[in-house]
A = this chain, B = another copy of it.
Amino acid sequence: MTSAKRPDASRRNEKSRQAILTATRELIAETGYAKVSIEAIAARAGVGKQTIYRWWSSKGAVVFDSILDLSGPVDDAVVLPDTGDLETDLKQVLRATVAEFADAAFEAPIRALTVEIATDPELAALYQRSMATPMDEAKKARLRSAQEAGQLSPDADLDLVLSLLNSPVFERWLMRGGPLDDAFADGVVEAVVRAFSPGP
C-alpha cells in the first residue's frame, strides 16, 4: 500500500496513514458517512488530498479500511484463533466482538456506518465485497479445519454457520435488544456448535 524508499519515508507514511484512518473514524462518528468528504479527512489528518488518493481509490475504501484498522489486519490467525478446540476459539472471538461493542470509540463509528450501509444499496455492496466477505473467508478457513478435526459436521453449510454465529450479537447490539455480555456470546456459540456437531 505504501511505496517507501527509505526507513524515514516509511515511518512518515505510516504516521500519515494512521492519521488518515483516525480522522476518518472520528468524522464518521461525528457527521455520518454521507457528510464525510476526502477534503474533510485530509484537513483533519493534516495531509494533502493527493496523499489519500495515492493509497485509496474512493471514500468508501478509506472508510472500510478505517474500521478494519480497529481490529488489526484481516488474516486467519487474528480473525479466528486456532487452539485446536473450536468452541473455545469461537467463544474468544464472540467475546471480543461483545467487548468491541461495549467500547464507545469502536461502537460509535461502526453504528454510524451500519446505518449508512442499511440505507444505501451501493455502499452495502462495497461493504460486502471489501469487508464482510474477506472476514467471512478467514473465518471459514478455521471452520474447515474444525471439520477436518471432526468437531464440525462435514455437511455443515459454512455461510449458515457464520450467519448464526454473527447475527444474534449484531442484532442485539444494533437494536439494543438486551444485555450484550459474555454469557450471551457463550450461549450463541454453544448452540451453534451443538447444531452442527458431527453427530455420533
* A interface residues, Cβ below 8 angstroms from B: 111, 114-115, 117-119, 121, 124-125, 127-128, 132, 157, 159-160, 163-164, 166-168, 170-172, 174-178, 184, 187-188, 191-192, 194-196
Contact = CB atoms under 8 A, between A and B. Distances in A.
Given A115-B118, A176-B128, A163 B157 contact: no
Specify the main secondary structure of chain A where it touches its partner: helix
A160 B195 CA distance: 14
Contacts of A176: 121, 124-125, 128
A177 B128 contact: yes
Contact of A191 (B164, B172, B178): B164
28 contacts: A111-B119, A114-B175, A115-B115, A115-B119, A118-B175, A121-B176, A124-B175, A128-B175, A128-B176, A128-B177, A157-B187, A160-B168, A160-B184, A160-B188, A163-B171, A163-B172, A163-B188, A164-B164, A164-B168, A164-B188, A164-B192, A166-B171, A167-B167, A167-B171, A170-B171, A171-B171, A191-B196, A195-B195
A184 B166 CA distance: 15
Given A114-B175, A166-B171, 15 more contacts: A111-B118, A111-B119, A115-B115, A115-B119, A124-B175, A125-B176, A132-B175, A132-B177, A163-B168, A163-B177, A164-B191, A167-B168, A191-B192, A191-B196, A194-B195
Copies of this chain held together in the complex: 2
Nearest to A199: B194
Contacts of A192: 164, 191, 195
Contacts of A170: 167, 171
Contact of A114 (B118, B132, B164, B196): B118
A119 B115 CA distance: 8
A6 to B, nearest CB: 43
A124 to B, nearest CB: 4
Nearest to A161: B191
